[in-house]
Amino acid sequence: MEARIIIPTEAGERLTYDLRLHHSSGKEELKIVFSTSEEAFDRWLFYLLRDLGAHIVTDEPDRLRASLGLTRSEKGIVPQDSISEIDVTRHMVKV
């Protein structure tokens, strides 16, 4: 699964972080990837960032929703194939 969260800033920039699924004790756990670490990415954090204008772009929206315990009607999860390639890549941050 490919997924990344795009977080707008007050200055009009967009911060982008990869999200990865890890398998632990028979369940999938979503983590946000920083340059020096990976941290748990839970439903409450998704809601907080979504309220600030963030959204997640993923190639497997149903799997991502399931890992966060979200319903199909939740806003803020964008299927990667529903946006153009230019829109997908403009959110990528070069490291």
For residue 14, what are the β-bridge partners?
A: 8
Look up the pTM and report it.
0.83
Q: For the chain, where are the alpha helices, taking DSSP H only?
A: 43-51, 61-68, 85-89
- Closest listed residue to residue 40, CA positions, set 80, 71, 67: 67
Report pLDDT for 89. Answer: 44
Report pLDDT for 27. Answer: 82
> Which residues in the chain land under pLDDT 70?
84-95
